[in-house]
Amino acid sequence: MALSAPTGFASSDLVYEENFSGTALGSDWHTYTTSNAAGGWAWNSNGSGGSTPGGEYVADYDMPSQVSVSNGLLDLTAIKQPVSGTNQGTAQTFPITSGAVSSYGNFEFNGGYLQISMKAPSGDGAWPGLWLMPGKGAGTSGDNFEIDLQEGGYTGSGPANQAFSYHLHTPSGTFGGVVDTGIDLTAGFHTYGINWDPGKSITWYLDGKQIAQVTSAQVPIPNEPMELIMSNQVANSNAAGWHTALDSSTPSSMQMQIDGIQLYQKAGSGDTVTGANVTPSTTSSTTAP
């Protein structure tokens, strides 16, 4: 779906855009998950290009083979195919092979309105994630913050396919929740957004409507360049108390599709961005690599 400027921003405030044209992933993206603390190296690498966030709840291991670009879409596809990987230092066979991309060291930004058009995967265990971690530009901060723009598949507030789960993880605690949107988010493309005012506030949006907000009066707000991670994770039975879990009904293939990413920043705001698809016409702090 075509993205347009969010409320409060003009088309001239657009500083970054990714439309996934062509048939290959652009130079802003890695086909693995990484972060500042990892120094750009793949999380839980198997030495063959794979990665995973790891932990006790993850059924998938992400491989480059499950990332593709065609017809203006980024496809991250989870399939029921065992794969050898690593989980927190221990070799492990995962029942699901899936895909993830990250923009560490390339597309990184500090502040602005980020919006992503995504069609979420459908099926028990489907755990699509749009999230931000400290980028290379954050220096030696480590992984001190994480902004979850959206995580799907959560239970407890209504049907899992309607769940909008948002979080801000900080050194002093976590803010977040799960909202029943009343919309089947797996039936079509929807626009997920955050308006991030560094050090001050973060506001979450779905299709232009505010879902939640957190301010510095509640928890610390990040003020450092962050990367974007998009992952089609699958939850295992350990997550069954709060998330749908992989089972016999889970489809043999589940696709997470992204057809557009935009970042808007106001001129003079001091917000920054780097990346191959930067349009450096609006703010003096906008730079290309």
Task: Answer for the pair 235, 153: CB distance below 8 angstroms, yes or no.
Answer: yes
> Is 4 contained in some domain?
no
**Rounded distance, CA 167 to CA 96, Å?**
25
Please count the structural domains in the chain: 1
| Predicted pLDDT of residue 281 | 44
Please tell me the distance from the alpha carbon of residue 20 to that of residue 70, in angstroms, as a whole number: 8
With CA atoms as reference, report the closest residue to 80 among 236, 257, 254, 235: 254
Query: Residue 247 falls within a domain, yes or no?
Result: yes
Distance CA 95, CA 92 (A): 10
Q: How far apart are CA 108 and CA 138, in angstroms?
A: 9
Range of the domain at 262: 11-274
User: What's the pLDDT score for residue 141?
Assistant: 85
CATH number of the structural domain spanning residue 72: 2.60.120.200
Per-residue pLDDT of the chain (289 residues; tens, 9 = 90+): 789 999 999 999 999 999 999 999 999 999 999 999 999 999 999 999 999 999 999 999 999 999 999 999 999 999 999 999 999 999 999 999 999 999 999 999 999 999 999 999 999 999 999 999 999 999 988 999 999 999 999 998 899 999 999 999 999 999 999 999 999 999 999 999 999 999 999 999 999 999 999 999 999 999 999 999 999 999 999 999 999 999 999 999 999 999 999 999 999 999 999 999 897 544 434 444 4
Which DSSP state fits 286?
B
For residue 289, is it within any domain? no
Which residues contact residue 198 at a Cβ distance below 8 angstroms, ignoring those fewer than 6 apart? 110, 111, 221, 222, 223, 224, 270, 271
Q: Is residue 91 part of a domain?
A: yes
Indicate whether 228 belongs to any domain.
yes
Does 288 fall in a domain?
no
Please give the helix or strand (H or E) that residue 146 lies within, else none: strand 146-151
Look at residue 177 in the predicted model and tell me its pLDDT.
96
DSSP category for residue 218: T
- Would you say residue 186 lies in a domain? yes
* AA identity, residue 2: A
Residue 113 falls inside a structural domain: yes
